[in-house]
């Protein structure tokens, strides 16, 4: 039994549209805050001898930044902000 794959042509754009870039710019504070959480979690996981008070503070601060950024996007009415 032979299976044939169907090739579908998809239009490829050179990059994101200006609307995509505008949406990213609006959401950038949240993206940046979430990256800070990931960075703090990586530091926490790789901390030799356990977390220091500075590591805990860094993680809590990053989590607060995420909450503040989400709150700011919701207040600005920036569409769907996932919780």
pLDDT above 70 covers a percentage of the chain that reads: 81
User: What secondary structure does DSSP assign to the chain, as a single string?
Assistant: ----PPP------SS--HHHHHHHHHHHHHHHHHHHHHHHHHHHHT-TTS--HHHHHHHHHHHHHHHHHHHHHHHTT-S----
| Max mean pLDDT range (29-38, 49-58, 69-78) | 29-38
Mean pLDDT for the chain overall = 86
Residue-level pLDDT at 48:
87
Residue 80 has pLDDT above 60, yes or no: no
Residue 60 has pLDDT above 80, yes or no: yes
Higher pLDDT, 32 or 80: 32
Residue-level pLDDT at 47:
86
């Amino acid at each position: 039994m032979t299976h044939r794959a169907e090739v579908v042509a998809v239009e490829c754009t050179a990059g994101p549209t200006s609307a995509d870039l505008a949406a990213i710019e609006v959401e950038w504070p949240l993206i940046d805050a979430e990256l800070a959480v990931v960075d703090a979690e990586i530091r926490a996981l790789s901390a030799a001898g356990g977390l220091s008070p500075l590591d805990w503070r860094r993680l809590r601060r990053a989590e607060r930044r995420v909450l503040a950024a989400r709150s700011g996007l919701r207040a600005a009415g920036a569409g769907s902000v996932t919780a």
